[in-house]
Amino acid sequence: MSDITQVIILGASGDLTARKLAPALFAAFQDGLFPHEVQLVGVARRPWDDAGFREQLIANSPKAKDHQPDKWQAFLANTHYVRTNLETPADFAALAKSLDMLCGGRPADRVFYLAIKPELFLPSVQNLHGAGLLAQEDGRSSRVVVEKPFGTDLTSARYLNGELLKILKENQLYRIDHYLGKETVQNLLVFRFRNAFFEPLWNQKYVELVQITVAETVGMEGGRGGYYDGSGAIRDILQNHLLQLVALVAMEAPSSLAPKAIRDEKVKVLHALRSFADLPDPQANLVRAQYEGYTQEPGVSPTSETETYIATRAYIDNWRWGGVPFLLRTGKHLPSRFTSIRIQFRMPPHTLFGSYQECHLRPNAITLRIQPDDGIDLSFEVKEPGQGLVIKPAKMTFDYAEQFKKRTPDAYERLLQDVITGDQSLFIRSDEVEECWRWADSLREAMAGAPVHQYPKNTWGPQAADGLFGECEGRWLKG
């Protein structure tokens, strides 16, 4: 390993660098988490120099600069800028010379973070390769981080994978999904496989259904309508974030914590997701909708049928989960922002409390709260004190902030540290991407011709989505 790592952000003039990437690197720097020197190098077309780039970070990263001013200044002193046109191969040769100068001729490990438009992923990697910046020699590493979306469907994802892997090895390519850096998501493996009283119940014999929600309060702010109208909720959230949560919830125990072992088990789950083409009535298992006024948003077609809300009833065809529905939902302009996973358990085989004719909503559930308030809730029923047999719901709650009383690292902090140290456990492999697209494409094909429901802003979506639950299976969580 070299004694210096350069983190080079292509597209550094964008919002992601100042809002997420630079603060994440600074947080690791101030906590002393880097094993050696780390330089941040911004790359973009803007006519800035080092001072101009630092001014942009100061202006747009207020939380970072105000936290520890002295360390912030020390961090900025090792932050640089190289003006580069990403579509001009000759500029990459100049970039290579600049990077060599910045590390003083020392052999440096390099991380290239592609914070750029998806259509520039491949040409940028080709230009990096042409300038000799992706070579791995003399013990030096060279890694490339790719933001989502990785392709727009299975065909494009396969093409992009194929072309990138002509240049890069799989262990050089880091497909990032920031959801995998969240503490509760990472804690899923510990929660399931370290605690003996949960894992024996984590199967079709005891679990009735699983529901996973990614709810957002935002809409098309910031001129996002033009991009979103060509994407929709399936490509934006379901194909990546939601399916990653499905894989972690449903996977078998890996043989070890090695990245390959973990990712092998995730791929098995995604491969077992039943295609919508194999359902007797595909459209009965999905509901798509738009919030009212979506087609009047700037950049959105007046005749658009792009979904801002999608809910599905999915199945995993394997021994552990056969017959258990996974209800997945995401939407824009919902009343509150949260992400949660709810494992709902079956009723006991014989009912002592109440008649068999009653529709008993399932009292036993585990809810993993991923954001904004990370934690775990265990729901059950108890007898109310006093005469008679009055049963009331109760809950035991574990809260990360209350338990540990320390700052929870941002997802990008963990993921960028993993890239620098070469740990791919929380990144997505080629076959994983393709299995996600295989299932998402089958959903999109099944959705063609399905009604586009409407729902008012700041409501929980169309009532039709409640119909995805069986008679006594409950309803969608509301935070």
Task: Write out residues in the chain with pLDDT < 70, as ranges.
Answer: 1-2, 62-68, 354-360
Which pLDDT score, from 0 to 100, does residue 67 have? 60
Look at residue 188 and give its three-state secondary structure. helix
Q: Is 241 a catalytic residue?
A: yes
The residue whose two tokens read 């006991």 is 348
Which pLDDT score, from 0 to 100, does residue 72 have? 84
Q: Choosing from 36, 67, 129, 241, which is the catalytic residue?
A: 241
- Residue 210 neighbours by CB under 8 Å, 6+ apart: 249, 250, 324, 325, 326, 327, 341, 342, 343, 344
Domain ranges of the chain: 4-147, 182-410+435-468
- Interval 414-436: pLDDT, tens: 899 999 999 999 999 999 999 99
- Residue 240 neighbours by CB under 8 Å, 6+ apart: 148, 149, 177, 179, 436
- DSSP-assigned letters across all residues of 135-151: ---TT--EEEEEPSP--
- Interval 48-76: pLDDT, tens: 999 999 998 888 876 555 566 788 888 89
Which pLDDT score, from 0 to 100, does residue 65 have? 52
Question: Is CATH 3.30.360.10 the classification given to domain 182-410+435-468?
Answer: yes
- DSSP-assigned letters across all residues of 338-353: EEEEEEEEPPPSS-SS
- DSSP-assigned letters across all residues of 399-413: EHHHHH-SPPPPHHH
Total-model pTM:
0.93
**Span 4-147: which CATH code?**
3.40.50.720
C-alpha distances out from residue 233 to 79, 218, 288, 308, 455, Å: 36, 13, 9, 5, 15
- Interval 227-281: pLDDT, tens: 899 999 999 999 999 999 999 999 999 999 899 999 999 999 999 999 999 999 9
CA 207: distance to chain centroid?
A: 25
